[in-house]
Amino acid sequence: MGLPNGVHHLAICTKDIKKQIDYFSQVVGMELVALYWMHGVDNTFHGFMKLSDSSSIAFVQHPEVAKIQPIKGVSHAGHTTQNVAPGAMQHLALNVDSEADLMAIRDRVRSHGHWVMGPLDHGFCKSIYLAAPEGIMLEFSTSEGGSIDAEAWIDPEVQALAGISAEEVEKYKHPAQFESKGGKVAQPKADPSKPLMDYPADDRLWTMSDEEVTRRMSNTTPPVQKKPKAA
């Protein structure tokens, strides 16, 4: 297993964060664990819905979001298999541990009056499907059988259509190990030929040292100061 071992948070824009919090709390059963102004971003707040101690869905609200018109097939999928623009989320699949849990979440969602399709059996997982507020295509999945068997689930025909050779498949299945340099690898010069953030900051961002970025842009203070516990 590589260093990334789950989703820390998935950020989704919303024009009505209360509606999203209500749905994912009351209908889906997730806990609201944070709701605060986004650090370093004007007039924007976000709320975190807990998946686990280290994994959340974060809903982000800014007044301009409401002015952006969703377009099915461009910004949003109309169903969980519909095309959308490159880089846009097609659907959100949340994990549950067992088929019993899958039926429990289906019961919970249906008890709130929401239509749910499934389960469908995909071989290595079983899934149910529905829509969440603002056109989010939502899936719940369980893989009780454990990890996916790559020998059975990498299709040679699809591999060829993707332009991936047999040698490349082996390389992708077994990525090279990397020994950490303890954070000592120097920052390369920003290269427009590679993916870059269109970050709302002055041009100095691209030449700041790591230490300056951390010092200038970090904010560790919670919005509510907890009272110390009595001795």
Enter the DSSP assignment of 103. Answer: H
**Angle, vertex CA 82, rays to CA 120 and CA 87, nearest 5:** 115
Q: How far apart are CA 84 and CA 75, in angstroms?
A: 6
Mean pLDDT across the chain, nearest whole number? 92
140-169 pLDDT per residue, tens: 999 987 889 999 999 999 999 999 999 999
Task: Specify the pLDDT at position 58.
Answer: 96
Q: How far apart are CA 150 and CA 16, in angstroms?
A: 41
CA-nearest of 48, 50, 51, 28 to 130 is 28
- Distances from the Cα of 58 to the Cαs of 36, 73, 90, 152, in angstroms? 11, 23, 17, 35
Q: How far apart are CA 94 and CA 102, in angstroms?
A: 10
Give the whole-number percent of the chain exceeding pLDDT 90: 77
**119 within 8 A of 108, measured Cβ to Cβ:** no
Highest average pLDDT, of 2-11, 72-81, 153-162, comes from 153-162
Q: What is the largest CA-CA distance in the chain?
A: 67
Q: Is the pLDDT of residue 224 over 80?
A: yes
Residue 101 Ramachandran class (φ > 0 left, ψ -120 to 50 alpha, else beta): alpha
14-59 pLDDT per residue, tens: 999 999 999 999 999 999 999 999 998 899 999 999 999 999 999 9
Task: Specify the pLDDT at position 122.
Answer: 94
CA-nearest of 102, 105, 96, 82 to 28 is 105
176-209 pLDDT per residue, tens: 888 999 999 999 988 889 988 887 656 788 888 9
